[in-house]
Amino acid sequence: MRIGLALIGIGSLTLAASMVGCDKLPFFGAESAPPPTVAIPTEAPAPPEQRLELNLRKGDRFPLLKTVKQNLIQGHSTVEPSATSELRVVMAITVEDVVEDGRILLGVKYDRIQYTQKMGGHAFSYDSDEPAPSRLPPEVAVYAGMTGTGFQFWIGPDNQIIETVGYEEFATKCVSQVAESAREKLLTRLAQTTGDEFIANFVDDSIGLMPYRKHLGATVEIGDKWRRERRLVRPVRIFLAEENELTRLDDRIAEITVAGQVSPSKSYVANDDMRGDVSVEIRGGRSYGLCRIDRETGLPLESELHRHIRMRITVADGRQIDQVKEIVTSVRAFPAQSAAVRVRLDEAERR
């Protein structure tokens, strides 16, 4: 950012307090009066360019915590949701490779998964660190199969996933504890969710919020805005158009706010709890959130995104059910090389 020229000062002559005659100049000695002193304008140096980008090195390792909370409100009730769930996933992320063209290969391993669900007066909980029940629902058995395994994926200069490595083997392990009759259906579902929860979509909800890294570096300043469109596949197709704004930028932290709209759409999905397919109409919605990025590494110190989605379900017999789905996704990374993280840990120890 350029700063306008500043005129530092202009010298001026003043008459002597007393004069012999009004046509006489003040006496300065034998030489004539010196000319006015004028300072030469100088141009202030431009501040250094600020960049916001991933700055990872091969071999870096850090834990990452992702939490997804969902409330499903049936009809026009505003008192209690008809169904709630919470998924907590602890992942270990390793930087496997960094290429000059801006691509980064990350490896993810799922260390611990906790899942709770309440629906229709029934509650269920699962913790991969605790002995598992003898029979698990298929969707929870997938989480059990994920624990202790993982895969790799490439991130491009636009901070988005461009390729996966070993994902098919990972998906096969995920369904290893699922009954054979349900495996094929779950494998198909996993193949369709390569942009969602099973591909560590912490990228979309954190790193993916950053601006495109043109020529391996994005020059930014407070007030910058950029748009991003997203498509969520499961359980139904959802289209999001979001605007991100850089609202804070200092030596340690970059703060990005998110505001967006959910586009209306319609899709048909097979529902195991109902006879026949059902029609799901997305009637609209909104999203908002905040992400704090560590300037040293480009990783999310804190990210929390809210989505409110209005839906109308039409079952096979023609009945229609209005629903509101609330989703809160939070992501936290703990890069060991981050000065911001070290300061936070020091403050916690002093307390």
Give, as one character, the DSSP assignment of residue 10. Answer: B
Q: How far apart are the first and last CA of the chain?
A: 41
- The pTM of the full predicted model, rounded to 2 decimals, is 0.74
Q: What is the pLDDT along the chain (351 residues), one digit of tens a residue?
A: 333 333 333 333 333 333 334 444 344 444 455 556 656 655 655 456 787 888 889 999 999 999 999 999 887 655 566 889 999 999 999 999 999 888 999 999 999 999 999 987 788 899 999 987 777 887 788 888 888 999 998 988 878 888 889 888 888 888 887 777 777 777 776 665 544 445 546 677 777 787 765 544 567 889 988 888 877 765 567 888 999 999 999 989 999 999 999 988 877 665 544 445 678 889 999 999 999 999 898 888 999 999 999 989 888 888 888 989 999 999 999 987 565 544 444 444 454
Beta strands in 233-350 (DSSP E): 238-249, 253-263, 265-270, 277-294, 300-314, 320-333
Number of neighbouring beta carbons within 10 Å of residue 108: 21
Report pLDDT for 45: 54
Q: Which pLDDT belongs to residue 340?
A: 53
Q: Using CA atoms, how far apart are residues 333 and 300, in angstroms rounded to an integer?
A: 6
The single-letter code of the amino acid at 67 is T
- Are the C-beta atoms of 269 and 254 separated by less than 8 Å? no
Nearest to 93 by CA among 161, 171, 167, 153: 153
How far apart (Å, rounded) are the C-alpha atoms in residues 339 and 335? 9
Q: 129 vs 106, 135, 347, CA distance in Å?
A: 25, 16, 30
User: What are the tens digits of pLDDT across the range 143-185?
Assistant: 888 889 999 989 888 788 888 898 888 888 888 877 777 777 7
